A and B are shown apart, each in its own frame.
Chain A
Amino acid sequence: MNNSRLLKEWKQLIKSGNKYNITPITDEDLTHWQCILQGPNKSLYQGFNFTLKILIPIDYPMSPPQVKFIPNTMPHPNVDWNTGVLCLDVLKNMWSPIFNLQYIVECVIRLLNEPNGDSPLNLELGTLLRLGDHSGYNGLIKYYLHHHQSHHGDANIII
């Protein structure tokens, strides 16, 4: 079931235009996927691209896929800066087998728009958000983004 469902998802993605650029890393192996995520409009991440790595477990869709950003690329309260691991309930205890890859990516985009200060993996950003220091929060994210961009060139400005 594992492979046939992933194959169906892949076909479905191609058919529907694949607007989030979700692709398997190699065509033979459908357990490693990646997604080039564009920073959502009107968010601090607008204009930046991020790479999302998706690892499909053997018992997918009964277990959720492991999703993470490339380490040291995503400044976000719910993303560990050093490992890129996300804190997202639908990828943990709220997982349901009806979710598919596209839905997961949509959830990640929603997380970028709506950071949650209550379960931070990035403590600095989480604290700033919880204390309501918006200028500090925005400034730190911008600093991270530009600092990272100038040093690694992975997240390139597309405007």
Chain B
Amino acid sequence: MNQADKIVENLGKKKNKTIVTNLLSSSQCHICHEILNIPIMLSCGHNYCYMCLKSWFKTNENRLLGCPDCRKSVDVTPAFNLFLDHQLKFILNLVKEKGVDSKWDQTLSEREQDEAIYKNDVAKDMLFANVFKNSTLSVVDMDDDGIPRCGNCHWELDPDDMDEEENVCPHCHYRIRNNVAPADSENVMSGSVRSIANDLRRRAEEYSEGEYDDIIDDIRRYSDSDLESGVDDYISHEDSANRNMSLHDNEAIDEDANSKSENEDELEEEHDSEMDSFIENDEEDNDEEIMDSEDEPSSMSRKRKYSVLDDDEENQINNDANSSEQDSDFYEHNEDEGFVSGDSLDDGSDNEVAQNDQEMDEAESENEEDVSSRKRSRRGQVVLSDDE
């Protein structure tokens, strides 16, 4: 006797009846209030009849599809819940054997009709009236300026061009199922920083323009970050960065990657990279290798130096990663003031980031540095695994 049989025996007839009653009443579809027919489960775990869900999706075709119960967005095609279907069929058959009235027969025949429709839809590969076919969600990559892109072909989507009724990707003509909106740059800020920033913005008129931006920058840089650990990080980072410059060997990258990946806190990283650039500022005078930085006039704004140095670091790490292309790549970027046109995408995102750094106004450049430093740490990790 297995465990299930034992449980049933111990419960007795009356309990078994309540179990069946509860099972049936809890297996109601919340849309049609009938016992689930062809149960389909959404990613949030809620189940509905296939026919109910189909008509719900169909009436909402041009809006973001959501779970009727919890509103969680339906990103992937919902799946048939085979297990629940088997259980319900088993119970309904039990009822059928006991003999039932004509009304029950009618319900059962209706269920069979719906099932035939479902099977037909499966056979013709047109589940949910093709709501999920040739359609995708717009995606926003925070590391990429928060520009909304088509989830299928990654074509840039312009929220202003989008039609309220039917969003279509201009490149691959996929239907976009959700709202196309660029990410708010404030989303990048952590909660506490945002609250301080909002508080300051309310009193913004008390400050002159530049002063206000500086204060916001300072808050972002130093809030939450422990100054001492920041300095420690900076020392280890500086070590590895120096070796990185002179040796171009893989070990240096390893250490670089380690020291950065350990450094989870974004703000600390920011702090760290900022200190780093101060040091490199000093080294500029005698270090021949940073050609690009030397070319820059010393009267440049502080921010511009940051972004330039940032670009420099990017190049070095990039060069280390592709040591075969090292020379051509390195000098190509450094000859004409270190920048190529932002439209040339053949060299990945590095140029883009550098270019954008320059275009950003002062307040956003900090965010940008933060983002690029995260990118760097990620790239470091990728290199590490490649070496293994």
A97 touches B56 (CB 8 A): yes
Give the distance in Å from the alpha carbon of A93 to the alpha carbon of B164 in the complex.
Answer: 13
* Interface flags, A78-115, vs B, CB<8A=1, else 0: 00000000000000010011100000000000000000
CA A156 to CA B52, docked complex, whole Å:
42
Contact B71 A96 (CB under 8 A): yes
Interface locus among A41-49, A55-63, A121-129, A131-139? A55-63
Give the CA-CA distance A125 to B290 in the complex, in Å.
Answer: 67
Q: CB of B68 within 8 A of chain A?
A: yes
Query: With the chains together, A98 CA to B70 CA distance in Å?
Result: 10
Residue A8 interfacial (CB < 8 Å): yes
- What total of A-B pairs shows CB separation below 8 Å? 31
- Least Cβ–Cβ distance between B45 and chain A, in angstroms: 15
Complex alpha-carbon distance, A101 and B34, angstroms: 17
Residues of A within 8 A of B69 (CB): 96, 98
A1 within 8 A of B: yes
Task: Choose from A5, A59, A93, A96 the contact partner of B32 (Cβ within 8 Å).
Answer: A5
Knowing A96-B71, A98-B69 are in contact, say whether A5-B59 is a contact too (CB < 8 A): no
Q: Nearest residue in A to B33 (C-beta to C-beta)?
A: A8
Residue total for A at the interface (Cβ-Cβ under 8 A): 13
Q: For residue A1, which residues in chain B have a CB less than 8 angstroms away from its CB? A: 32, 51-52
Q: Which residues of A contact B71 (CB under 8 A)?
A: 96
Chain B nearest CB from A7 CB (Å) reads: 10
A143 to B132, CA, bound (A): 54
Enumerate chain B residues within 8 angstroms of A8, measured Cβ to Cβ.
33
How far is it, in angstroms, between the C-alpha of A5 and the C-alpha of B33 when the chains are bound?
A: 7
In the complex the two chains form, is A93's CB within 8 Å of B33's CB? no
A61-B55 Cα distance, complex, nearest whole Å: 10
B68 touches which one: A5, A9, A96 (CB < 8 A)?
A96
Nearest chain B CB to A97 CB, angstrom units: 4
Check B30–A93 contact: CB distance below 8 A: no
Evaluate contact between A62 and B33: CB separation under 8 angstroms: no
- Knowing A93-B63, A96-B69, A98-B68 touch, does A62 contact B56 (C-beta < 8 A)? yes
Q: In the assembled complex, which residues on chain A have CB atoms less than 8 Å from the CB atom of B56?
A: 62, 97
B59 touches A59 (CB 8 A): yes
List the B side residues contacting A9 at CB < 8 Å. 33
With A59-B55, A62-B59 known as contacts, the answer to whether A97 contacts B33 (CB < 8 A) is: no
The 3 closest A-B pairs by CB, nearest first: A98-B30, A97-B31, A62-B59
A residues touching B (Cβ–Cβ < 8 Å)?
1, 4-5, 8-9, 59, 61-63, 93, 96-98
Q: Which residues of B contact A (CB under 8 A)?
A: 30-34, 51-52, 55-56, 58-59, 63, 66, 68-69, 71
Can you add 6 more A-B contacts, CB < 8 Å, to A1-B52, A97-B52, A98-B30? Answer: A1-B32, A5-B32, A5-B33, A9-B33, A62-B58, A96-B66
